[in-house]
């Protein structure tokens, strides 16, 4: 059985089981232990029946496992993304109790995920440390990209007959699959926009949207993320955002050149694209860190409306690791 006491005897296994070292887990738990009861105090409804709460927090039957072990189980599930039955086997628990514990802990972990560009501009601390500022592009505050994850194929919904009418067997089902089908991925997907600073630390995340009907540039326009940049700050992105200059003519945007029909790239443009990719690759490294948690790497099996929470929770965990060890460092600008 996987418990914190057993994991202490084999600390080298912690990164493979929960995605972080045992010392990093202890640091996370110190914050989680404070945030969890505070969140529960502000919940006015009961968990199962969503009725007004009549008893104080903490009433009722006690949990079988301590809060530390329940957090450990949640991180283990995020890391391996196994079924509730399998998690219940590892933790000697019924699958229904596993689901209840996961939902409880995930809700608290989401409150700990903080992203700078989601706060008001006056509360955002600008990155200007010598160790983390790009040498060639010192004005870049954000490197932006999109992340897609495969989902199970949505089921088509049959139209419900109006009152007084008999159901028609020939009525066509509503096509709920098309918005999610990504021609690029050749699969049904959910998409998130991710914006990182030059050292890989995640600064902003968009909610999960259907991957088929939302192009990268459409998602960027809807998020209005570039509006939050200060006048002296710039953004960097790939060729998928071609045309965003027309929306923000006064914002500095670094983008690779894109070849067009009858207009191939010149040698100088190809050299510039290779040079730019050396700096833009940091966002791909961050995506790779997110995908270490299998809940964001495998086909997402749960309800689609819960995907945003999963992404935010995992992003918060990844940020903790990047804060301790940046994915990329640069020389100071001359």
d(CA 68, CA 4): 7
Instruction: Give the predicted TM-score (pTM) of the model.
Output: 0.86
pLDDT score at 116? 84
d(CA 150, CA 127): 34
Does 334 score more than 60 pLDDT?
A: no
Contacts of 261 by beta carbon, 8 Å cutoff, 6+ apart = none
Distance of CA 330 to the CA centre of its chain: 25
Query: Which two three-digit tokens encode residue 157?
Result: 């919904």
Top pLDDT among 155 and 238 is at: 238
If residue 192 lies in a helix (H) or strand (E), which one and from where to where?
A: strand 187-196
Mean pLDDT confidence for 33-47:
81
pLDDT score at 40? 85
Place 57 in a pLDDT band, splitting at 50, 70 and 90: low
Q: Cα 223–225–229 angle (5° rounding)?
A: 165
pLDDT tens for each residue of 144-181: 999 999 999 988 766 666 655 655 554 455 568 889 99
Place 2 in a pLDDT band, splitting at 50, 70 and 90: confident
Q: What is the DSSP letter of 260?
A: B
Mean pLDDT confidence for 97-125:
86
Q: Which of the residue ranges 143-157, 164-178, 241-255, 289-303 would you say has the lowest mean pLDDT?
A: 164-178
d(CA 1, CA 332): 49
Mean pLDDT confidence for 97-115:
93
Does 211 score more than 50 pLDDT?
A: yes
200 in Cβ contact with 286 (< 8 Å)? yes
d(CA 176, CA 102): 29
pLDDT score at 134? 76
- The two most distant CA atoms of the chain are separated, in Å, by 77
7 in Cβ contact with 88 (< 8 Å)? no
d(CA 159, CA 34): 48
Burial of residue 60 (CB within 10 Å: 0-12, 13-18, 19+) is exposed
Does 53 score more than 80 pLDDT?
A: no
20 in Cβ contact with 320 (< 8 Å)? yes
Query: Which two three-digit tokens encode residue 264?
Result: 């191939």
Does 273 score more than 90 pLDDT?
A: yes
d(CA 125, CA 114): 13
Mean pLDDT confidence for 173-194:
87
75 in Cβ contact with 13 (< 8 Å)? no
């Amino acid at each position: 059985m996987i418990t914190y006491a057993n994991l202490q005897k084999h600390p080298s296994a912690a990164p493979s089981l929960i995605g972080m070292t045992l010392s990093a887990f202890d640091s996370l738990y110190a914050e989680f232990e404070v945030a969890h009861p505070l969140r529960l105090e502000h919940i006015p409804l009961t968990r199962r029946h969503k009725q007004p709460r009549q008893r104080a927090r903490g009433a009722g039957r006690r949990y079988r496992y301590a809060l530390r072990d329940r957090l450990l189980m949640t991180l283990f599930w995020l890391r391996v993304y196994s079924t509730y039955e399998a998690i219940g086997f590892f933790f000697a628990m019924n699958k229904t109790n596993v689901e209840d514990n996961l939902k409880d802990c995930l809700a608290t972990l989401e409150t700990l995920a903080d992203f700078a560009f989601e706060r008001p501009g006056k509360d955002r601390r600008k990155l200007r440390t010598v160790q983390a500022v790009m040498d060639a592009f010192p004005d870049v505050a954000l490197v932006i990209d999109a992340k897609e994850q495969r989902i199970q194929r949505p089921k088509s919904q049959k139209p419900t007959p109006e009152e007084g009418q008999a159901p028609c067997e020939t009525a066509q089902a509503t096509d709920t699959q098309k918005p999610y089908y990504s021609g690029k991925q050749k699969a049904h997907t959910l998409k998130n926009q991710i914006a990182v600073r030059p050292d890989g630390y995640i600064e902003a995340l968009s909610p999960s949207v259907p991957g088929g009907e939302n192009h990268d540039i459409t998602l960027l326009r809807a998020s209005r993320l570039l509006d939050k940049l200060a006048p002296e700050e710039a953004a960097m992105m790939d060729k998928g955002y071609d045309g965003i200059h027309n929306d923000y003519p006064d914002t500095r945007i670094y983008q690779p050149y894109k070849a067009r029909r009858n207009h191939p790239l010149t040698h100088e443009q190809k050299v510039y694209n290779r040079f730019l990719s050396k700096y833009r690759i940091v966002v791909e490294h961050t995506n790779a860190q997110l995908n270490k948690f299998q809940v964001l790497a495998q086909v997402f099996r749960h309800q689609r409306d819960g995907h945003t929470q999963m992404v935010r929770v995992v992003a918060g965990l990844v940020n903790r690791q990047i804060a301790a060890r940046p994915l990329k460092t640069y020389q100071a600008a001359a």
